[in-house]
Structure 1
Amino acid sequence: MNKDIKELYVEYADILKALAHPVRLCIVKGLLEQGERNVTCMQNCLDLPQSTVSQHLQKLRSAGIIKGNRDGLEVNYYICNDKVKEIISVLFEM
């Protein structure tokens, strides 16, 4: 197996690991369907504490799946990885 293929497999495995939690999967699906959202919006939708949502967002940011736009005190998150958009679309037949 050549180096480029190995790197691609590692990249895909990292994405799948980051998505392999129901809350993170729900966050990403919601962002794909509804566009940019802030933590408060996600917290209300998921019915989870803000700290829990923030921890999941950090994992998604670290994996390069989402980014945030700061607007004053709020950060609005969006999906920045086209591969993730494709994966979610296939999973949920969107």
Structure 2
Amino acid sequence: MESYSNNPKLFEAYAEILKALGHPIRLCIIRGLLDTGGCNVTKIQDCLDIPQSTISQHLAKLKGAGIIVGDRNGLEITYRVANEKVEKIIKILFDQ
């Protein structure tokens, strides 16, 4: 087993990921992005039926944690999960 005791930065990075995932809306967004392969804010808003500004705040938190990325195509940004560890976590949580 690999020793992590001499790398506190690793624990900090993992804790940030878990904090970002620790909200039901963000978990739902991540699951939806994985199920669809990525989508824009409007589609996420339609699925969750919450204000666009709230979606944007959650996306910013996920992006800041390095969990998602946004690919710009003109005025539209398509978000997708860009962290393999998060994909594994979600698959375990939802038994996929």
Q: TM-score, normalised by structure 1?
A: 0.94
Counterpart CA distance in 2 for 1:89 and 1:7 is 25
Residue 86 of structure 2 corresponds to 84
Instruction: Find the residue that maps to 2:87 and give its secondary structure.
Output: helix
Report runs of 4+ in structure 1 exceeding 4 Å deviation.
Answer: none
- Structure (1 or 2) with the greater helix fraction: 1
Question: What is the aligned-residue RMSD (CA, Å)?
Answer: 0.8
* Residue deviations 1:23-57 (CA, integer Å, cap 9, x gap): 00000011111111000000000000111100100
User: Equivalent pairs: percent with the same residue?
Assistant: 58
Question: Deviation of residue 72 (structure 1)?
Answer: 1.1
Question: Deviation of residue 7 (structure 1)?
Answer: 1.9
Letter in 1 for 2:30: V
Unaligned runs of 5+ in 1: none
2:51 to 39, 49, 52: 49
2:11 to 9, 12, 28: 9
Q: TM-score, normalised by structure 2?
A: 0.92
Unaligned runs of 5+ in 2: none
Q: What is the count of residue pairs matched by the alignment?
A: 92
Counterpart CA distance in 2 for 1:34 and 1:41 is 11
